[in-house]
Structure 1
């Protein structure tokens, strides 16, 4: 009994302490609100003052911009007037009346512009002609030392700059000093020159020099009303004060702004600064602040009077709190959850046990209406029906037995419960709602936790695999499971599974399997299916993004819901495939090298074997020619001798070509000599002109006159041109049928100098109007053994490029388009050969900056 009394005494002490704390909170909460209100008003007033300051800064910037524009406009107007005056002075050089008129204009100009201290006219020989004010009116500050030397030096510098640029120029800022005890007036302390040159028919006719006063700019250009409100200062680029509009001091809180002042081209760097004078005292702001403080004090006094009434009320509420606390302690001590509803089924009360049961706080639950957040989403209808049955007052049997249900905690865990209900009556006996009690009847948690842990370990192992594991349902075609590797490579959908399975699991295949009246797996026991069905393995290449290879193994398994599913395990074997491709490419290169070696040996053998018959043919032709000369029939000799001489020359030429090819295969240098490229092109055209006429085509040569002679091997270069012309004729023969060949454009061969290369190179171009060359072919057509002809060996263009490169030149091809750029219209082969072969060119003949290579590739 004593311990029970001590317990109740402790509870009562806690309740009293809580009551005092609540009373203090009731008193200090309004006080805190008043303090916050006062701070808010202070912030608002501060914000208003900041806005006012921002408006003053904007007004200051506008006034500064206005003054800047006014000064720049005055200097621009003065410059234009000085230019016009200097032109009139130059024209009136010999006319005295005109000079007098201009002199009067100058005097009026100086009188109207008080910022100008001196105006001087210099003739074309830089001799002073006259000045305003007149020399008799000048003072010591201008003509006497030490100011005269400084002024004269800066004047000469400005004149020289004007002469060189033929534009108005400015001198540097000149700070004058007094040579007496008398101070220099403000108008003369800081000055600078502006010189305006005059030209007549392109020749200098004189210069008009004007001396500006820095103080005069502020004094006479800036309006008086602005100077009364602001203080303007002219500064140089170092920040030194040149002139100031007023010596009146400004307070530390005054606003300030500055901007650069550009008077024109070659003008000194000046900075225009403006400062504000202090504004008058803001009486409205102070009155408003006083009213706020007074109202705050009045409210605090009102709260003090209300405190006594609150203390009296607290005594009455203490007993009620004690009884309420006792009831709450009893409700919180029970492990059964209690929930109260009003007549609209709105939750009005929950105890601590129910909050712990569902994982929500009382503040989150009170006021909610069905469906509640602790109801599972898939059982809203069922639980709503159960609640209607429990809350029926007349069903007493059901209220005693209760009804089973299921609740979902905040963390997603579901628990099985049994719910009891009773009507809630007020003091008048009227029902105002229901009170329900909920008991947890869930299965033991240990079994569920063990199952969950087992599943997490299994998923962890699958997530750590370096292979994609995926399971897809055969019934729906949806992805049932995918590990981390699969999600990173293929995303969270079943598309990657279908791609790895070579599209055997596409949606239409699954639909056909589902609608098939014959079950392909019928009659096969599940145990037999799992034991005897092995996994198949195949390799799949995926082209999504970068090509990748996977080794895929799959099998059919029953899923946890009893339906059949397909399991795939895909291992990335891209690196292995790349290694195999690299080995295959190395093998192909070895075979290619072997073919080149064999071809070189064959070329050497053919050259050796053909030299003897060609020499015999040449000797026979020369012998027949000598025998014919002994005959007296001149007509016969005239008819046969040219043919025999040409046959002998061609036999000799063929032998030379074979010898050059043999030497080329042996990597020997070409036999260069000074040649006329026009003669080489003419020989090549003569060789193919008969074949071109036979196929109803023509060849046109356009050669720039007076081309320089070039060091090259004429036989090899002629062989290259013959090969290119023959290819052009073949392209025309494929593009034009026989009846329309006479209308085909001719094959054109041109020779000129390429001005875009350095050093200048000889450019030879062979152009046809055929069907062009495909992009895939134009990138490989210079490779050995690559040919688009059925009977071609694929060495012609490769040998041509090798010959040109052995001459330190370049050979490439480029397709031509028709005027509408709609289709290919022929191709142009371009050869660049250096005219002067220097040592630097020989050592760096592979420099792509000198001669451009194949632009198409």
Structure 2
């Protein structure tokens, strides 16, 4: 037996020499393995081939996988017992069936198909088809496996994964209620600050209408942001997909700082930006990543609450080994060793009025973007950073 590539089709083929499928002496046709002539009419050479055919039948019937051999016209020439059982035919009836009736489109290279049984029912099958050359005849050798159980298990596994993910989200609902209050607090606080500033300006004589108009625009932006935070939480709980699109991390940083500029002024915090140019884009949700930046910035401001002026917060972006990294560096008192390992866990906080949700939300968002987040205490202050996989240019 030899193996090679059929130059006409480019498909694998197997050449079998000297086995039971010889040529009939009179017409040079393929030896009929289904209705062979009486043994007494065969030559000794042909009787040897017929005996070899019987042995091949015995071997094929011992194979648990369905095996079919189809002629050039598509009719089944030989089928083992597993094939007859799979397709619901008697063993003797199999040679009267066309292979493409049993497995439509089997010759198109497909590997997962639906087979048609004798009663008309369908079942999913995995099919492999190879070309076999027997003497001067070219046949198709099919191995067919019932894929019903495998596909059912795959569907069940997918459903179980989806259900576990949903249950995990529901289990986190208690944490998320705290996270929601934490996230909504920032735009609401900005709205309050802007509204109070507008009140002061309105008491002026004459009021600065241009400044008031800018303040009202900021209030509208913060109100929309609060709605977007709620919308994304609802999508997450309802199993809805949140699209990740290519984003520039530097732009996310600038947008986030725009949202908290009034708070930074009130706290007396100067932000020093060190944004690297030509950064790769990252795949993400803009609102979620803005929330991470906002949380890290506000945490840095909180850490410097009792720090004498100047209160400087450094924000740095850079590329590192195919990833895009953002660092927020404050000049506060650093990270206490007791919480260094748990500061990203829910409800872990050192603030008297804190909920311990900000950094936990950061970790959840970053990890959902296939990234990582970490913190490091410095001689003066602390560095909190995250990195995300960069997209190919």
Q: Which has the higher contact order (CA 8 A, sep 6+)?
A: 2
TM-score (norm 2): 0.46
TM-score (norm 1): 0.22
